[in-house]
Structure 1
Amino acid sequence: MMRILKVVSICFLMIFASHVEVSAKDDGFDWEPVMNAIIQIESKGNAAAVNGSYVGVLQISPVLVKECNNILKSSGSKKRYSLSDRFSASKSKEMFVIIQGFHNPLNSIEKAIRLWSGGIRYSVSKTQAYLRKVMRRLN
């Protein structure tokens, strides 16, 4: 009986979690202020900014482009990004939103900033200074 109760509970939680993710993605959350703060920190708005393999206003790496394309592919979209799209401010912002929608479905601003700084498996301690810097710019 306990096992059945556990299975039912897990199924309920999975259904609830998937509903929360879908509604969080569809709610039209405005990432513009967060993106603008990050842009000022990363490149001061310079679309031609290059720092090693990181380029554009949001300093996007080839790994991030690949992750966006994987997300798009898994969702059935035919759209894909190229490495040169990183130099386009509007396409860079689209990639930011794709990453947040997939890896940050509840639209946490703190998580968004930490994800951008430290990647998908970010360390809280290693992203703390970056978080403070972006939050100061945001406020």
Structure 2
Amino acid sequence: MIFASHVEVSAKKNGFDWEPVMRAIIQIESKGNPAAVNGPYVGVLQISPVLVKECNNILRSTGSTKRYSLSDRFNATKSKEMFVIIQGFYNPLNSIEKAIRLWSGGIRYNVAKTQAYLSKVLRHMSN
């Protein structure tokens, strides 16, 4: 279980740094544009309303009073916080592969359907 005070501080959780993964995803999703909109997906990490709701459910379960709004998706720092919250809850072993697949395909991602996205993110990370 994660605690909101830890994820709000930075992209580092338990000594693991999500920043390189997030930088690569941001380049693919929005080229760093915090105002990017693609249907229901917005901001640098192209966050959906469902993901905001899930982050708030996770925070509620930890007893945190912090909540995210839909407009927070346009804030790069808050978007990164939401990424870390999702990873801390659904990817507690900090698997980079799982993190990328989760971001592309959601909680019940399909390995085959997320393979191209995984390859693309890993290429960006190696540049």
Deviations 1:100-125 (A, max 9, x none): 00000000000000000000000000
Q: Does 1:49 align with 2:36?
A: yes
How far apart are the structure 2 equivalents of 1:110 and 1:64?
Answer: 19
Bigger Cα Rg: 1
Which structure: greater helix fraction?
1
Partner of residue 115, structure 1:
102
After TM superposition, which residue ranges in structure 1, 4 or more long, deviate above 2 angstroms?
A: none
RMSD, matched Cα: 1.7
Distance 1:92 1:26, change over 3 A: closer
How far apart are the structure 1 equivalents of 2:13 and 2:72?
Answer: 25
The higher-RCO structure (CA 8 Å, 6+ apart) is: 2
Shift of 1:27: 1.7
Partner of residue 71, structure 1:
58
How far apart are the structure 2 equivalents of 1:87 and 1:26?
Answer: 23
Counting matched residue pairs gives 118
TM-score by length of 1: 0.82
SS at match of 1:121: coil
SS at match of 1:71: helix
How far apart are the structure 1 equivalents of 2:14 and 2:26?
Answer: 24
- Structure 2: runs of 5 or more not aligned: 4-11
TM-score by length of 2: 0.89
Partner of residue 88, structure 1:
75
- Structure 1: runs of 5 or more not aligned: 1-17
Deviations 1:17-60 (A, max 9, x none): x8xx99xx952210000000000000000000000000000000
SS at match of 1:106: coil
SS at match of 1:39: helix
Letter in 1 for 2:117: Y
Question: What is the percent sequence identity of the aligned residues?
Answer: 82
